[in-house]
Structure 1
């Protein structure tokens, strides 16, 4: 056999083996890239954690003094002295400015002279009156003796009455001049401007020599903050958030003057006067702030967060777990989400807040035990043909035929029926409560029944499985969940991103 023929026979086998190896490597790479054989690696998971959730509303506002007084002038004139400056501390009754009093001093002198003249006129009128009364008396005696005509008596009577009127007029002129003089004296006193409160001068708008013109509205000369150790912020809260804001809620805020410092306050008032700015409705919320160290200044812009809800020590998952939806497989059979326990586990915690006595606790334990028995029975043997509802409350309105209830009316009917069942099952326990306990119980049960529920997905045999949980508070990154979960359980938060081919 020729050596060339032997060599030629080895080359095809080598080429075939090489091609086969390349094909196997390519198949493995493609199979691994598609996630074949390991479905769990297709999903990203996160652990259920226990921690605190703080729900807050952001808003901005301006810091101001709790009480600010505008000090003006009630009289016109030239400013003689200004005795305080910006940032000066003043006491109530302290002189802070003076206006030239010469005009009012002249008015007082003129008034005194007018009063003296009016008194002289009064003396003349009184003398005339005395003479007229004597003449009338004489004429009346003579008329009784038929010695004077009746007309003379009437004339004497008229002269007497006229003299009395002149006396009254002179007395009125005296009172008028005295009142005018008193007003001039009051205006003279107003030329000295006093501080009406203890505080700090925030603004001064006059200088010595300046003329003040007080007409229909008193000009503002000084602005005095009464107490800067206590301040307030007026926040503009959007109408979509105002329903969550209540008096007494905690507020934290920062100001640009102290970027590394966190300040705290408390909601003191939610005002009803809405403001419309470019079709954006906001409501003013007043926040009381303690400024004992005088660090905060009036006029600073505050970036605030109002803490509307806080949940401590709750189970929470990343918000991505609430948004995750598994890819739809047309060949797969739709799966009904597994209900989380939740409700029966939360009822003891609600009862614990009511401070029950022994009889009330026994009634609660009996009702709860019967509820759990009913749940176990319904879970073990669901009624024939029932495809909707829950193990606790049975078939809900609109839940037949395998279809979920649609529309707000069905949801409202569900909640109504759930409340009726709760009232039936816990009727004896509720009747044993006093009025305050009953109100707390009803409020907690309403919150429990009306809570939003959503599916969270876990991995079961490498496949996503939906578990319905009750959704609580959310702070934007994590959401509280109530259901059959414990710390460390894994929930699906998304799909793994395939690595790019090299």
Structure 2
């Protein structure tokens, strides 16, 4: 029995030992991983991210409601009872199509009465004309007899007065006829207005009347129908905050969604930036009209649109995490960049880029190169003069840099006075070049140069060969998480975003 039981116990021990061995191997691997991780963290001590090259899209978000570009309120100019309603919701109607009728009996009676009044006035006119002819003959006869002294002058005067009265009666009868004809014409116009017609080709959005309802048109014409002229073209009116309205321009692309189609993105374009500000609880907004192509007829009036206006699109640019722009090391931890003065992300780096965007001819390019050489020579002379006096160096003009580490907080660009002085100096140095530009190129040069001098500049810290180096960059567009940068920095560089957390 003891001999037979020994192999059984050995197999049982081996079966229990295999899982235990697996667990021990896993624990050893985890401990090794964490040990190696701590060694790496201790070796560098920094959290880094790789500099990327890609696109940055800056947008402004807002909400608004869709509506037809042209919506017509169809009303009634007269009062009366509605006898027929010939159009309903969503019906397509054509211009001059009859869409409702109002009881015309009142106006038909007014027309009959007016016709009778006109006939009576014409009878009065005939009587007055007959009286006038008789008075004219009587006056002529007596006036001739007065010359022969057969009739007294007073009789001739009476005949003249009777003739004049007859003429006045004729004029009065004719005026009465004109008055009655005008009254009848008004009644006929009102009769025509009992037929309500569509003023445009479109779709009926609302109908606010029913057959048998009485329309009362007194001080204001009641709205019977609302017709959208063309739903294939619609618009959104967005309320843009005053802090963002300066970035919005006609022609910018707009992307928006509606709750009815949450998985689909629609497109539009800024058509108009209106000047009429709205003050709501001391918040100033400006209406921005976005035109939308609704050829598929999916979008309906009144839908809420969650829109984003693309105010800036930067393609294929170098970009870094915003955390890298916020990070600041302690004093003495970052080495100064080993590069020539003036090549540290300053405004001078942008001059060749601005010139390249102007599509210069060969003579224009030569004039620019000559101006750039003059600027570089002037900067070199100032740097030579300021050598040895770091405290008095002018960082904007390429002098010694500011405090290292935590003291380098970046710059929001030149202030107004300094920027104006720099523009005047550059105007003088590039005068020959600017003289070769046409009006459009001159405008673009001036705008880009002003933007370049106003641009924000900030330090980022790059790990190169295990050393933390300071690189001053020009900060461009930002989408909230990544920012465009320009300077001595390339895609693939490792920028520091923070310190590794130490483990006790």
1:71 aligned to 2:71?
no
Partner of 1:47: 50
Pairing 1:41-440 to 2, within 5 Å after superposition: 41-326=44-329, 328=330, 340-341=344-345, 343-369=347-373, 371-372=375-376, 383-389=387-393, 393=397, 411-440=415-444
State the Cα distance separating 1:380 from its structure 2 match.
8.0
CA–CA separation in structure 2 for the residues paired with 1:195 and 1:36 = 82
Q: 2-side partners of 1:283 and 1:140: how far apart?
A: 85
- C-alpha change, 1:47 and 1:392, in structure 2 (3 Å) is same
Q: 1:405–1:411: 8 Å Cα contact kept in structure 2?
A: no
Alignment partners' CA distance in 2, 1:440 and 1:139? 97
Could you list the per-position Cα deviations for residues 255-298 of structure 1 after superposition, in whole angstroms to 9, with x for gaps in the alignment?
A: 11110110111111111111111111111111000000000000
SS in structure 1 opposite 2:391? Answer: coil
How far did 1:185 drift? 0.9
The root-mean-square deviation of aligned C-alpha atoms, in Å, is: 3.1
Once residues 78 and 257 of structure 2 are traced to their aligned partners in structure 1, the CA distance between those partners, rounded to angstroms, is 43
Relative to structure 1, the CA distance from residue 389 to residue 293 in structure 2 (aligned partners, 3 Å threshold; closer, same or farther) is: farther
CA distance in 1, matches of 2:145, 2:79: 64
More moved, 167-176 vs 407-416: 407-416
- CA–CA distance in 2 between the matches of 1:351 and 1:252? 33
> Contact 2:379 / 2:398 at 8 angstroms: preserved in 1?
no
Q: 1:375 to 1:459 in 2, by over 3 A?
A: farther
For 2:250 and 2:206, locate their aligned partners in 1 and report how far apart those are by CA, in whole Å.
32
Q: CA deviation at 1:354?
A: 2.1
| CA deviation profile, 1:43-66 (whole Å, cap 9, x unmatched) | 211111111111111111110001
Mean CA deviation greater in 367-376 or 276-285: 367-376
Distance change in 2, residues 1:219/1:337 (3 Å): farther
Number of positions where the alignment pairs a residue of Structure 1 with one of Structure 2? 461
Cα contact 1:204–1:221 (8 A) shared by 2: yes
Q: In the aligned structure 2, how far is the partner of 1:333 from the partner of 1:304?
A: 45
Aligned-partner Cα distance in 1 for 2:193–2:319: 67
Q: State the Cα distance separating 1:437 from its structure 2 match.
A: 2.1
2:135–2:166: 8 Å Cα contact kept in structure 1? yes
Cross-structure match for 1:18: none
Sort the Cα spacing of 1:389 and 1:149 in 2 relative to 1 into closer, same or farther, 3 A. farther
SS in structure 1 at match of 2:489: coil
Instruction: Note if contact 1:371-1:392 (Cα within 8 Å) is conserved in structure 2.
Output: no
Distance in 1 separating the partners of 2:274 and 2:268: 17
Mean CA deviation greater in 54-63 or 351-360: 351-360
Say whether the 8 Å CA contact 1:99–1:191 is kept in structure 2: yes
**Equivalent position to 1:477, from 481, 486, 500:** 481
Give the TM-score taking structure 1 as reference length: 0.84
* Alpha-carbon distance in structure 1 between the residues aligned to 2:335 and 2:384: 18
The equivalent residue for 2:28 is none
CA distance in 2, matches of 1:318, 1:410: 24
TM-aligned CA deviation for residue 196 of structure 1: 0.9
Counterpart Cα distance in 2 of 1:204 and 1:89: 13
Q: Which residue of 1 aligns with 2:447?
A: 443
**Structure 2 residue ranges without an equivalent (≥5):** 1-34
Normalising to structure 2: TM-score of the pair? Answer: 0.84
The whole-number CA distance in structure 2 between the counterparts of 1:78 and 1:50 is: 72
Q: Shift of the alpha carbon at 1:488?
A: 0.7
2:492 corresponds in structure 1 to: 488
Partner in structure 2 of residue 24 of structure 1: none
Aligned-residue offset at 1:384: 3.5
Match in the other structure for 1:8: none
Deviation (angstroms), 1:464: 4.5
* Deviation readout 1:52-109 (Å, 9 max, x if unpaired): 1111111111100010111111111111111111001111111111111111111111
Is 1:456–1:468's contact at 8 Å kept on the other side of the alignment? yes
Does the Cα contact within 8 Å between 2:334 and 2:469 map onto a contact in 1? no
Which residue pairs with 1:5 in the alignment?
none
Equivalent-residue separation in structure 2 for 1:451 and 1:184 (angstroms)? 72
1:202-255 deviation line (CA, Å, top 9, x unaligned): 000011111111112111100000000000001111111111111111111111
For the 8 Å contact 2:414–2:454, the answer to whether it is kept is: no
Alignment partner of 2:184: what SS? Answer: helix
Query: Aligned in 2, Cα 1:389/1:258: closer, same or farther, shift over 3 Å?
Result: farther
